Amino acid sequence: MTIWVQVRDLPFVLKTKSIGWSLEDQLGEVLEVSHRNHVIVEKYLRMRVKLLLHEPLKTSVEFTPLGSSKILKFDVKYEKLPLYCECCGIVGHTSERFCKIPSEKRVVCFPRNLSVEPYWKSQGASRRGLLFGNYSRGDKNPTT
């Protein structure tokens, strides 16, 4: 399953395409890193990732900056995330049914707010406006 993933609250210096591609070992196969003219100007780093459905969702990613021993942790959110289990983090079932964890040992470990609005909805524009610009009738120049 492919899905858009947002890495939140990254410092500007870490919002790069190369950082996005380097997250493959933590999030799954990265298919695309979203950018505008090779610059990431959004509030988060956004990547299209191929999720393995038999593995738990990731709630965060970690970095260790060069020359430092401190580990930095950043939250992960998913656009259009389907149902997932709050106990085991597997997509496709909820904690009430089909979870492999015995009911007496179930503890909610995955937050309910892993899903966020798709990027183009959060920008307050239509998808067509984002792809082609906003044209007024008879106007030759886009308003974006």
- Choice between 86 and 125, residue whose per-residue pLDDT is larger: 86
Contact 27, 49 (CB under 8 A): yes
Long-range CB contacts (< 8 A, 24+ apart) of 137-142? Answer: none
Total of domains in the chain = 1
Q: Which residue has the tokens 């190369």?
A: 18
pLDDT at 62: 94
Q: Is 132 domain-assigned?
A: no
Q: Is 127 domain-assigned?
A: no
Q: Is 81 domain-assigned?
A: yes
Q: Is 10 domain-assigned?
A: yes
Using a pLDDT cut of 70, give the percent of the chain over it.
76
Domain carrying residue 78 = 2-120
Tens digit of each residue's pLDDT (9 = 90 or more) over 43-84: 889 999 999 988 999 999 998 888 889 999 999 999 999 988
Please name the helix (run of DSSP H) or strand (run of DSSP E) that holds residue 50, with its range, or none: strand 44-50
